Structure formats: structure tokens, C-alpha cells
Amino acid sequence: MSVFVDTSALLAVLDAGDTQHPPARATWETLLTSDEPLVTTSYVLVETFALVQSRLGMEAVRALVDDVVPVLRVHWVGESEHRLGVTALLAVGRRQLSLVDCVSFATMRELRVETAFAFDRDFADQGFRARP
């Protein structure tokens, strides 16, 4: 069974100063040694690259490119997932819920992924299992 990897988890893995870094690092190491495919979307990567670059700098971007992205199966978001995400975002109408998250939920449902490596409570609120 696949595990979806969210921006919140990737940031916590890469940022040693993040309060969630210890559980994120432990979960990441466990996932890397498991047989579970790690899935994310192109939208999560764009969001993660932007946040890592602005918060942690280019050395952290290099670590993301060299050490993290190669172990992820990237689902490239198409027009249909984008539209589903926009529709969900507008329907929910919550300022704190992002388009990236809505697209992630739609993609997880499409790919039948039930578990997310995420520190974002919205995944659990949407009925997904969240790790750690």
C-alpha cells in the first residue's frame, strides 16, 4: 500500500529546527526501509521547493533534490485533478485549506491511497490515516 507524502512532512524532515523534526525523521527512516511506495504530487513539490528555498536556503533545496525527490513517485497533476481541487477549495470556503491540499486529497482518492505522511490535520479530517 502506498503512502502519500505531504509538504508538512517534507519540511519537518528537512528542517532540524522544526518541532516535528524528530518524529518526522523517525517516520521517514521507517518509510525508506519499508516496501511502501512513497507518492506525492507535482503541486506538493512546487509548494515544498518554494518553502524550503525561502525558509532553509539553497543547500536544503539541494538536499531535497538529491536525497528526497528520487525516492518519491511523483504524480503529475493534470487538468481534471486541478479542477477537482479548485471545486473542493471553493466548496469548503476555508482560508486555511490550500489548493495544494485539495488537489492532494483528490489525487489520493483517485490513486486509492489511504495513508498520508503529514502533520497537516486536514488529511485526518478528510478521512485519511495520518502518520506518524
Give domain status of residue 7, yes or no. yes
19: cell is 518541532
Give domain status of residue 100, yes or no. no
Mean pLDDT of the region 48-67: 98
Give domain status of residue 60, yes or no. yes
- CA 28, 24, 14, 98 torsion: positive or negative? positive
Task: Supply the CATH number for residue 62's domain.
Answer: 3.40.50.1010
Percent over 70 (pLDDT), the chain = 100
Nearest to 44 by CA among 4, 86, 71, 94: 4
For the full predicted model, state whether its pTM sits above 0.85: yes
Q: What pLDDT was estimated at residue 95?
A: 84
Give domain status of residue 91, yes or no. no
Give domain status of residue 18, yes or no. yes
Give domain status of residue 117, yes or no. yes
* Number of domains making up the chain: 1
Give domain status of residue 96, yes or no. no
91-131 pLDDT, tens digit each: 998 888 999 999 999 999 999 999 999 999 999 999 999 99
Give domain status of residue 83, yes or no. no
Q: What pLDDT was estimated at residue 111?
A: 97
- Cβ contacts of 125 within 8 Å, gap of 6 or more: none
Q: What pLDDT was estimated at residue 94?
A: 85
| CA separation, residue 108 to residues 52, 105, 116, 123 (Å) | 23, 5, 9, 10
Domain hosting 24: range is: 3-76+113-131
